[in-house]
Every structure is written in structure tokens, then in C-alpha cells.
Structure 1
Amino acid sequence: MSVHSTQYSFRPKDAFLGAQMLFVAFGALVLVPLLTGLNPNVALFTAGAGTLLFQIVTRGRVPVFLASSFAFIAPIIYGVETWGIPATLSGLAAAGVFYIILSFLIRFFGVEALRRVLPPVVTGPVIMVIGLVLAPVAVFMALGKTGDGSAVLIVEWKALIISLSALCTTILVSLLGRGWLKLIPILCGITVGYVASLILGVVSFDAIIAAPWLAVPDFVMPEFSWKAIMFIVPVAIAPAIEHFGDVLAIGCVTGKDYVKDPGVDKTMLGDGLATALASALGGPPNTTYSEVSGAVALTKVFNPGVMTWAAIAAMLLAFVSKLGAFLSTIPVPVMGGIMVLLFGAIMVVGMNTLVKAGHDLMEPRNLAIVAVIVIFGVGGMSLPFGGEFRLGGIGLAGVVGVVLNLVLPCKDCSEPLPQEKEGCKTD
């Protein structure tokens, strides 16, 4: 069987290809836990386990790799600071359950139901809010401060050299990189920033020396918290619609219609189960990785079995304790430099979602929905919901957006999803 086959085949000779796929995803995969306070070794394990679970649910049809979702960075940071990691994990697990429920709705009512509830006029501004609310965190960390700006960790001039070197490298590689290099801009940026940190003498290797070579990842179990659940679940609105686009995108690469076989209901179910599993073990929510889809397009390796090897490699690497210790030595400004571009990119993705939809944003209905979502989310609006619980920020913005879309009169809400109108576009 050639590597161009889209049929599942698990062969030992594909192990190296699988390792390459993991290498492409590695930078983004570990970035989320490093930014949010979760354990990177656990994130590696849950990415691998989630990918295997996804393959089981989709019967090994789709060549994708699942790993840490950027969309949940803001709520995880807030949740960890407010309720702690175990309670935050219960909210993330509930987001996985939300995907599972969506998958059954899609199965019974079709993809059209997803479009009605989560059109671009809702998901676009929600994605924008996710990026915008994180802007201060990125700037503070780029300046060598803690995420809330309350303490200085590294003197400003050193921090700026480090963060700007990481930022500029990431931008240049994404613009000028060729082949495999173009697929790993984040990893390149982190590498250059880390080298700059070594030169400026702000890296300590004590954690690496103290860590054993091999150890079981530090799994954390969730603790039920209604506050965390009600805050985080609405954030899953945006990634849910993005999932549909991801499935279409990888189908364009391989020439297969995954919306029909195995069906977007199956892929959404796999995504939900993978996210719930990851959160149950202490890892961030999972999502399909566009970097890996780009690698599939570049190499023409369409065999989903290669992703099985990538998943196994991630799970094995999770037990290398010194790797996690090494990642913990990456200075804050390196992460800050990457975050400036990353969170800005998330905001731009939201803008692009609105642009591709082709709606007139000055039309009163669209203007009202977008305006309320953005201002509620970025402004930090919160509403009381009994007792001490308040729903606010991204969560409130998402809920209000869905409600406004459903209740405000709409002249023509029958247009197809923007991805459906565009069809497949490959380089």
C-alpha cells in the first residue's frame, strides 16, 4: 500500500513518519499547558490518548492529530487563578460533554442545526473576544512580568530582547519558511527565544537536574464545580463550528468527504470524548491541529495509521520526566513573545470568519449581535445567576450571542456555512 492511500494501515515502517507529525505539533501542543499552569507531560499523554480515541470513534478514517486547544487558554488561566486546577478541569470536561451532545444533535437534525445555532455572526466575534481578552497577559509576559503584571520576573530590557527575538523568529518562519520549517514557526520561535535567554543568563537548570529521567505524568482528577462549568462551557461554542471547518479542510487535502464518511457527527463525538478524557486526567481540551493537516498536505501521507504512531510517540514521551522539567525552564518572556502573535492570530481568525461569511455588519441585526458579544466579552460584563455565581467574560459573551441570534428576527438565515460556499482550496 502506498503512502498516498487514505485507508487505515498500521505498519512499523510508518513510525518515523508518525514521529515527524508529532514534531510538527509539539510546539503548539506544549505551549497551552505552559501558559495555563497545566502539566506538559500530561498534555502529551492526553493528546496521544485523545487521538487514539478519536480514531476508534471515526473507525480510522480521518488522518488528523488532536492536541491542546488554544481557544480555551483564557478560561483556563482565569479558572486556575479563581477556582484551582481540579475545579477548572471539571469545566473543561463539561465542554467535552457539550461536544458530545452537539454530535447527537447533528446526527438527528443534520449539520444544518449547527449552522442555525452557531452561525459566523456568533462564532466570529466570540473567537475575537478569546484573543482580545488575553492581550494584557501577552504584553505583561513579554515585558518579563507575571501574567497579571503584579510582579517583575526578569528586568525589562532583557525581557524585551528575549520576547522580541521569539516573536520576530515566529513571524519570519511563518512568512519565509519552506517545507517542514514553515509548519513549525512556534517551535522555531521558542528555540530562538530560549537561546537568547541562555545568552542573557536568565535560565536555571535546577529543575532539570532534580527531575528523574522517567516518571508517571502528574495526572490530576477534576473536582465538580458548577461555577467553572457555567463559565467554560460557553467557550466551546467557537471551537465547535471550527471543528466543522477542520473536517472540511482535511477532506480537501485527501480528496475524501469526511462530512459523509465517517460523518461530522462521528468526528464531533470523537473530539468531545477526547476532550472529556483529557480533562479527566488533567490535560487541556483537544482539537484537530491544522499544523499536522498541513504536514499531511506537504508529504501526501494520507494513511490515518501514521497518526496512530504520532499518538503512541506522544504517550511514550509523556513519561520522560526531564522533558517536562526542561519545558518548565523556558523563561516567561519567551512565552510572552509567542503569545503576542498567537492571541492576535486568534482575534484575526474571528475577523476572518466574519469576512468570509459575507454579511453586512452594519445591518442592525448583525451589528447588535457582534457589538454585544465583543463589548460584553472584552469589557468583562458579568451577570449574577443565584448566590455568589456570576457568568461573565467569554462565557457570557458566547451565551448572549447564541440567544440574540435565535431571538432577533432574521430576513435570510438560510445561507450555507462559509466553508460550504468556498469549497476546497488547496495550494
Structure 2
Amino acid sequence: MTMDNMPAWRMPLIGAQMLVVAFGSLVLMPLLTGLDPSVALFTAGVGTLIFHLITGRTVPVFLASSFAFIAPIAYSVHTWGLSATMGALMVTGVLYMLLAGAVKLRGPGFIHYLMPPVVIGPIIMVIGLSLAPVAVGMAMGEGAESYTRTQALIVSMSALLTTLLVATMAKGLFRLLPILSGVVVGYGVALAMGMVDFTAVNTAAWVAMPGFVAPTFQWQPILFMLPVAIAPAIEHVGDVLAIGNVTRKDYIKKPGLHRTLMGDGVATSVAAAFGGPPNTTYSEVTGAVMLTKVFNPTVMIWAAVTAIVLAFVGKLGGILQTIPAPVMGGILVLMFGSIAGVGMNTLIKARVDMAQARNLVIVSTTLVFGIGGMVIGDADLSLQGIALCGVVAIALNLILPGKQGQIPVDDLHEEQAIVDDFISHGKS
């Protein structure tokens, strides 16, 4: 049944279903970084509406929290505060807009010219591997005083086992809900063991304003955050190609990659203006579109409206804040490992020859800098982590001899094998 002859009352229900698919990943990111999950719901909805306004409601995608920013946001909030971090993320959105302008002038192959697989592969690997200690620490309950390590491991492993079983053995739409399933089971085990504190739920009102945060602007967090946008930008290209492959439409040409990038950029800046995480297209929802065969972007409008409404349900925000850290830790063991795996597969699918000196230099330097914790600069001005890896990988790729020219649009479609990985994995 197509959307054209489908009863009007079914569209909001299908939209809510799309939100359920994205919900686990959507709230996971703010819970890990100390942001308000209700704000993340609100900005995901608003960002999705902005994206569809800019793209002319042509691409059936949903925008929500980008996992690539987990470590940078956590560090930035700890170092410079939440407000300054939001200011830096607003500027990151502007960088997306500049990339959109460059794509408009140079063509869709410009991003792949700037960030080919030999660059983006190790960066994605660093995103996953650098976060491994965070996942393990949460899974073991490090720093917790209300429960033991044994209790934490029981909860985290139950969440991990559920997540991997659903991801590998479930059928149909249910297979797209591994994170949500892991949260539910892990939360149930934690509840049975008395590890859940309902204070946040009891004190929350049924209807409440999300905890919006106004941004401020400091150049240190801005310089730190800007290079982080590299991975989500290249992932965005993959998502646009993936959804085009599902719907059999060429979104690179219409509405154009420059418009979809612009939609991401404006949505990210607006999200940061309210205190929400950066927005990016969600691959889980692309998988749901593929299974349901519902290609009409109107469904995503309803998903966005549902997210905005839920953002003002105070009890829901309170419940999300009661989720014990080991529940998230168990899921993140698989999630961050999968991100690193996607980065490795990017190199394999693109047939990056590691016997070539330039490729070996780029990949090895990027990995060691990122995983080893290399810092360049002082306390006032420094590059480290994913930001440093992005700058180093791009610079080496541009400087070292042997770089290929700009990739034609037709060749972008030939790289679909790489892109398809993003449908079955979470955000990277």
C-alpha cells in the first residue's frame, strides 16, 4: 500500500514507529554526554523539520544525535562548560554549510576528494576505539557507590547479550531495535536488583519545559570541535546514497548533495542554539524505510512532530535519567566496537592498498595519534583526539604524493558497497 492511497490516520502511527526505531540511539548520546535527553528529542524533531524544509520534502530521512561527537562533547563540557560547547557546535553547523557551498561549486565528488576512504576509515576507527575505555568503565560500574562491580557486570552483560542477539537473530522491523531492546532488558534486570533510583521520575512534572541551554562562544572549544565534523559529513554522503539506493532515486542530483548537507548544517546549528546535540541522518531509519517500503517523506514529518511532543513530557525525561550507567555500558561495548569495525570495513571495501607507503603512513599515524592520546599545543590552544586525527589525516592525504583527482558523481554510486554498511550499524 502506498502513501497515496493509505488512510490519513495511519501516517502518524507509521511516523511514531520510525521514531521508535531511532529512539534508543537518539537518547543514548545525550545520556552519555550529560545533555538533556528531552532537549535532544526536541532538537531532533525541529532539525528534521528544517531538513525537509530545505530539501523540499524529497528525502525520507530522520535527523538525530550524532555518535561521532560523544567523546568531543564530553571533553568539551568538562573543560569549557555546556554553554561554550553549544557555541562550538553551532559553528560546526556553519562548517557543514560551507561544505554544502563547496559541493555546490565543485560538485558532489569534492567531499570524497577531500576525505577519501583512506582518510575517513581510520578516523571512524579512532572514534570507536578511543571510546572503548568509557564503555568498559561504565559496564563495570566504575565510580558507582550504590551497587557493586558484580551487580554492574550482571546488568551490563544482560544488556550486551540482548543487543547482540537482536542485532544478529531478530527478524523484520524488530531487528532494527537492538539498542532499545538492550536498554529495556538491562533496565529490567537493574530494576530487579534494586539499582534504579526513581527520584527523578517522582519529582518530574507530567508536562515540563526541556532544559534548554543558551550558547556562548569561546575560540578554544570552537577550534577543538570543528575538525570533528569530518566523520559525520562523509557519513552523511553515505546515508544519502543509501536511502537513494533503497528508494531508487538519485538524491545526489535532486534535491542535490549541497541541499542535504545544508539541511544537516542548519539543523545542527539550530539544535545547538537550544542546547541539543548535533543532528545527522539516521541509518536505522533508512533500514526501517527499506523494510516497510514507505518512501513518502511525510512519515518523517510525523516522526519529527512526535519527537517534539514527547520532549515536553517531563515524566519521560525523568525515566530516561534513571537508566543506570551499566545498562548503557553493556550496549556501548558492542556499539563502539561496531563503529571501529565500520571504519575498518571502509578501508577493505574501498580496497585501500596498505602496501602503498602513503596509505600506510596516513592510517598508522592517524590511529596512533587518536588511540595514544596525542596532544599538540598547550592548554589555551591544543588539538587532540578526533579533532587532531581529522586534521592530520586530511593534511597527509593532501600533501603526500599519489593522491587521485576528484571523484565523478557516477563513481560515487559505485562505492555503494561501502555505504551499505551504515544501514546495518549505528551512527559513527
Same fold (TM over 0.5): yes
How far does the alpha carbon of each residue in 1:369-394 deviate from its partner, in whole angstroms, 9 at most, with x for none?
A: 11111111111111117x72211111
Distance change in 2, residues 1:319/1:209 (3 Å): same
Equivalent of residue 36 in structure 2, options 36, 39, 44:
39
SS at match of 1:67: strand
Cα RMSD (Å): 2.0
Alpha-carbon distance, 1:193 to partner: 0.2
Matched ranges for 1:7-406 at <5 A: 11-146=8-143, 152=145, 154-384=147-377, 388-406=380-398
Secondary structure, in 3 states, of the residue corresponding to 2:142? coil
Q: Deviation at 1:52?
A: 0.2
Q: Distance in 1 between matches of 2:320 and 2:290?
A: 29
Report the secondary structure of 1:359's partner residue.
coil
Q: Take 2:372 and 2:43, find their aligned partners in 1: how far apart are those partners?
A: 34
CA contact (8 A) 2:64 2:280 kept: yes
Stretches of structure 2 lacking an aligned partner (at least 5 in a row): none
Q: Which amino acid aligns with 1:340?
A: V
The answer to whether the 8 A contact 2:397-2:403 is kept is no
Number of aligned residue pairs: give it: 419
TM superposition shift of 1:411:
5.8
- 1:4 and 1:301 in contact (8 A); partners too: no
What amino acid sits opposite 1:97 in the alignment?
Answer: V
- Distance in 2, Cα, partners of 1:168 & 1:267: 36
The 1:236–1:153 alpha-carbon spacing in structure 2 relative to 1, beyond 3 Å, is: farther
The CA distance in 1 between the partners of 2:404 and 2:214, in whole Å, is 46
Looking at structure 1, the residues matched to 86 and 114 of structure 2 have their Cα atoms a distance apart, in angstroms, of: 26
Distance 1:306 1:103, change over 3 A: same
Encode CA deviations 1:210-253: one digit per residue, 9 max, x unaligned: 11000111100111121111111111111111111100100111
CA contact (8 A) 2:112 2:407 kept: no
Instruction: Note the C-alpha offset of 1:12.
Output: 4.7
Contact 1:124–1:238 (CA<8 Å) still a contact in 2?
no
- Offset of 1:71 from its aligned partner? 0.8
Q: Which moved more, 1:266-275 or 1:403-412?
A: 403-412
How has the CA–CA distance of structure 1 residues 73 and 411 changed in structure 2, closer, same or farther, with 3 Å as cutoff?
A: closer
* 1:284-339 Cα distance to aligned partner (Å, 9 max, x none): 11111111111111111111001000000000000001101000000010011011
Amino acid in the other structure paired with 1:399: V
The 1:411/1:84 distance shift into structure 2, 3 A limit, reads closer
Q: Secondary structure at the match of 1:204?
A: coil
Q: CA deviation at 1:422?
A: 4.1
TM-score by length of 1: 0.94
CA drift of 1:143 comes to 0.3
Using the size of structure 2 for normalisation, the TM-score is: 0.94
Is this contact kept in 2: 1:167–1:341, CA < 8 A? yes
Deviation >3 Å, runs of 4+: 9-13, 411-419, 422-427
For the residues of structure 1 that align with 2:42 and 2:118, how far apart are their CA atoms?
A: 36
Instruction: Report the alpha carbon displacement of residue 2 of structure 1 after superposing the two structures with TM.
Output: 2.5
Residue identity opposite 1:315 in structure 2: I
